[in-house]
Structure formats: C-alpha cells, structure tokens
Structure 1
C-alpha cells in the first residue's frame, strides 16, 4: 500500500511538471473546456480504484496510474480553461462589435465583406491590452497593518483569507497584530471589531476584492502575507487559503480553536502547548499537510478522506479513523485534530 501511494504521488508530480513545462514552451493546443467537462470521470475512476484496492485486485495498480495522470491533467485544465476564458471574454467583446457590422451588410468601397483585416486588428488590440495589464499587474504593492494591544483583551479572534499565495505566521509582537502584505494584484484590508463587554477583538484580514482575476503566470504574480500576533490572549483562528504555501508557526501562541481551509496548498503548521484544550480542524483539497505537535500534549486525530497518504508513525490506531498519541489519557493538556482531506498527504510529527 505504501509503495502504491509513492507511485501515485510520483506520477502526479511528474505529470503536473510536464504539463507546466509544455505550456510554457507552447507545445499545448488543447480544448480545455471539453477536458474539464469530463471531471465526473475522476470520481468514477477513484471509486473503482478504492474497490479494487480493498479487494486486493492487481488491477488497482493500473487504476492508480490512470488516476495519477488524470487528476493533475484535469486540475491543470481547469485553471487553464478559467484563464483562457477570461482572455476570450475580453476578445469576444471586440468581435461583438464586428458582428453588429456584419448584420448591417454594408461595406465601404475598399471592404469586400471580408473581416480578416478587422480580425487582425482586433488580435493586435487584444495583445496590446493584455501586455498592458500584465505590466500593471507586475507592480508590487506593499502595506503594513497594525492594531494596538488592549490589556483587557484575554481572548482574540483572527480571520485570515487570501486565495492563492504565501502566508506566514511567526514570532509574536507587542501589538495585538502586525501584518505585512505584498501583492501584484489588488490590496488587502484589515478591520478590528471589539466586543464592548468582553473586550475580545475580532480581526479580519482579507483581500479587498476577493473575486479579482489573478494571472498565475510565473513572474507576474506575488501574494505574500506575514502575520505577527500578541502572545498574551487565547486565540481562535479561522484561516482560508487557496493554492500556494502556508507556514504557520503557532508554537508561541495559546490557540484553543482553529479552522483551516486550503485548496492545492503546501501547509506546514506548528502547534504549541500553551492551551489546556485545543481543537484543530483541517479541511483541505489536493494538499500536502504537515502538523507539528508537542510531545507533552496528548493528541487525538480524527481523520476522514479516502485518498490520503498518511504518516502517523507515533500514533496508535484505535479504529474508526481515530489515532491517539502515547499516554493520551494521562496527559494534562489535550489536543484534537480533525482532518478532512481530498487527495492529500497528511503527516503529524511530535517534537
């Protein structure tokens, strides 16, 4: 089983790398719309693969290879289709004007009714506009957000969202929060609402326009967020990430509740031992997730997800998709990790 998991991820990454290389080299001329519409085949293929694996059928080897090729191809096609659709939508607005002219059926003396020259001009206009937008998007915008710490705030809430990009939480600050953002598309905004009774602040840091088109072409896009929090309050966190990287070092913070949603991301999460009880929920798609847990904390893992590659070497399988760390019942501090993954790699390391 472990060898087959390694085969899956090896072919998955190999296929994805070849597709990106082929696109950059201009080798691909594919109808992505037709390909993306075949996504239900992935569900069928995944179901067949699970059935064959459970029965120990050798044919599972073949379906594993097929799935490892089909999944990255479909994901790549989805993002390529969306990108091309945005460009085509702009181009169609130019052609729409030409269609109106065609309906009038009136031409000048030098126009035979052939729109080839018009189409060439439209293509040139489209390329010029695309290049102009790419130049504008290459400009990096930097911002710093901060909020003063209130000594009466014993708890705090952080809501962080960012789509595709790189996200970091690291060393504490004397302020309630200090965040540095760098992006080539759009800007971020931060709001802080304080409960008048409990003095609990709720911080929301997110892009101003979460639906703005992002060009993921290498070199054209940057989205980085560095967050530093105050270590005094007990934290509740809700983090929503898209594709990219998340490096969240929370070892110096008391985190009692945390929810992370991520798409195709590489997530590294380091938890601490400052909270007596901690509840961590991870809901990811095609992601690689590594969680670091202190050895002095009793940890229970509740896992859900059929196509996960898991590395839980220091944990005991107690059945029903649950795992516990050694000496869990005797531990004074406890942590529960609820993991729901699509096609992902999940590792928990005790330190």
Structure 2
C-alpha cells in the first residue's frame, strides 16, 4: 500500500474540501486559527517515513488514522473565531515577559506634499494586520504585542519616502492566539507602494481610499482580504503565496487583467473572461481609462478576485 501517496492525497482533499465549502458559504473557516499548527505536517511526514519502513498493512492504517484524526481537529479549530485577549497595559516596553500582551504605538508625522511617493515595507510573521482608515500622520501602527519586538524606521531621498515597519525576534511562522495584532492607519495624500513579506499571518486592508500604485505580497501561510480603489491610472498587484486564502476586490469601473501561476490552487474570478490558460480580463479592460493588473503565484491556495 502506497501510504505516503494516500496520506498526501488526503491532505490535498482536506484543503480543497475546506476551500470548496467556504466558496459555497457552507462553513466559515478561520485560517489564522490553524496556521500556528503548521509544524504538525512535519510530524505527519516523520510518522509516514517511520511507518514506510514497515511494509505491513497495519502500519499504513495507523499512519492514515493519525492523519485523519489530526485533520479532524484542525477542521474543528478552524471554525472557531479567534477571540481578542485582554491587554494588560501596565507592563512597559522594557518588560522581559513576552507572554503578556502590551499595547505599543508607532507613528511618523506627515510633512510632505500630496505628490510625494511613499514606499511602505512591512514584515512580521504571526501577525494580523488590519488597516483602520486614514490619519493626518504619515503612518500610525497600534500594536497589541505578544511575541517579538517591532520597529518603525523612515528614510527620505529626494521626493521618495521609505517607511519600514518590521517585526524582530520571534519566528515569522508563529501564528494563532500567540500572534500579534497590528492596526494601521495611513495618510491618504501620498502615492503608496506597499511591500509585505511574512511567513504566517492575516491581512485585512481596505485600500479603496488610498492612491496605491503598487501592492506586493510575498508570504507562506496567510489569509488576505484586500480592496483596491481607482484613484490612480494604473495599479499593479503581485501576490506570491504558499498555502493561502486570498480575496481581492477591484472597482467595477477599472479594467482588470489577471495573470495566474497557481499550481493546485483554486480560482474564482467571477465576471472575468478567460482568454487563455492563466490569463483573464474584465469585460471593460480595453476601454477603461484606469487599469489594475493582478499577478497571482501560489502553490496550494484559494484565489478570489471580485468586482464591486
């Protein structure tokens, strides 16, 4: 019995089944609840290697049973919404007890003209990023920190300002109740170029009110919900993921072209016309004055692009 092939087949069926049930709104699955359990797949691989040496049918059945039980637990945990923890604000930034949540605010003032381009670099695993609207400052980041430390650095060259918001310390793959929550606010005047690099995490950005020239995401296990506006003639969106749930919303008035390189990923591009394998366009792509170009690259992900 080819136990290894059966086991990885079950894993693919599990992930595909969950994504399908989500697409039909049968269940609400919170991927952020299960990302922190990703090392369990290493354990499953190890168990499989150990039992592979034993050619007996009983050993194969034991391996498959362990996998099915594990996936059942993950399926249950993934349907439980993540609850906010109570923040203990009396502990200062200098405290060494990293197990206690602390609220920390990072900010940088806005003093430039509306034509200035701002490059925003964000990195930090095990973190939920949520865009909470605009601010008179250039950027504000309210952090409920449970693991690691963050830093905010800015650098200006000619008419370009670079902002780097980074997590330092703990593994970028940590996720779940032990992760960090970051609420961001951005100034609506600059032209933004956003670069995000993270291992496991969640991103919920409504960028419809911001001039976003480019949005780039490079991550492993992540859940993304991004909404773009039509304040610029061209917006480039580049998403590269491993295992992820990606939802992108684009304005119906903008022409949109989607290019995909998605392996075993599922795709839902409602309202788009498929021109060829891996290439899709909105009906108004050629006539629209403003355009959004979306490039998707994922190994085993769920990609969804909708027009609003």
TM norm structure 2:
0.70
Structure 1 residues 301 and 11 mapped into 2: Cα distance closer, same or farther (>3 Å)? Answer: closer
What is the CA-CA distance between 1:349 and the residue it aligns to? 0.9
**Residue among 136, 145, 148 paired with 2:109:** 148
Alignment deviations for residues 90-143 of structure 1 (CA, whole Å, 9 cap, x no partner): xxxxxxxxxxxxxxxxxxxxxxxxxxxxxxxxxxxxxxxxxxxxx944201221
Alignment deviations for residues 197-228 of structure 1 (CA, whole Å, 9 cap, x no partner): 22x210000113254895x5x65x13011111
What is the CA-CA distance between 1:308 and the residue it aligns to? 1.2
Structure 1 residues 319 and 203 mapped into 2: Cα distance closer, same or farther (>3 Å)? Answer: same
Q: Determine if the alignment matches structure 1 residue 186 to structure 2 residue 197.
A: no
3-state SS, counterpart of residue 286 of structure 2: coil
* Distance across 2 between alignment mates of 1:250 and 1:332: 19
- Does the CA contact (< 8 Å) of 1:269 and 1:290 recur in 2? yes
Aligned to 1:235: 192
**Residue among 258, 279, 286 paired with 1:322:** 279
What is the CA-CA distance between 1:264 and the residue it aligns to? 1.5
Higher helix share: 1
Alignment of 1:1-351 (within 5 A): 9-10=16-17, 32=43, 35=46, 136-152=97-113, 154-195=116-157, 197-198=158-159, 200-209=160-169, 211=171, 214=174, 219=177, 221-351=178-308
* Runs of 5+ consecutive residues of structure 1 not aligned to the other structure: 42-65, 77-134
- Does the CA contact (< 8 Å) of 1:308 and 1:345 recur in 2? yes
User: Which of the pair has more CA radius of gyration?
Assistant: 1
Tell me: higher relative CO, structure 1 or 2? Use CA pairs within 8 A at least 6 residues apart.
2
* Distance across 1 between alignment mates of 2:130 and 2:251: 20
The alignment's C-alpha RMSD in Å is 3.5
- Does the CA contact (< 8 Å) of 1:193 and 1:203 recur in 2? yes
What is the CA-CA distance between 1:168 and the residue it aligns to? 1.0
Structure 1 residues 179 and 31 mapped into 2: Cα distance closer, same or farther (>3 Å)? Answer: closer
* Distance across 2 between alignment mates of 1:296 and 1:228: 26
- Does the CA contact (< 8 Å) of 1:140 and 1:222 recur in 2? no
What is the CA-CA distance between 1:169 and the residue it aligns to? 1.7
Aligned structure 1 segments of 4 or more residues deviating by more than 4 angstroms: 5-8, 11-14, 210-214
* Count of equivalent residues: 244
TM norm structure 1:
0.62
Aligned to 2:84: none
* Runs of 5+ consecutive residues of structure 2 not aligned to the other structure: 1-11, 22-28, 53-63, 75-95
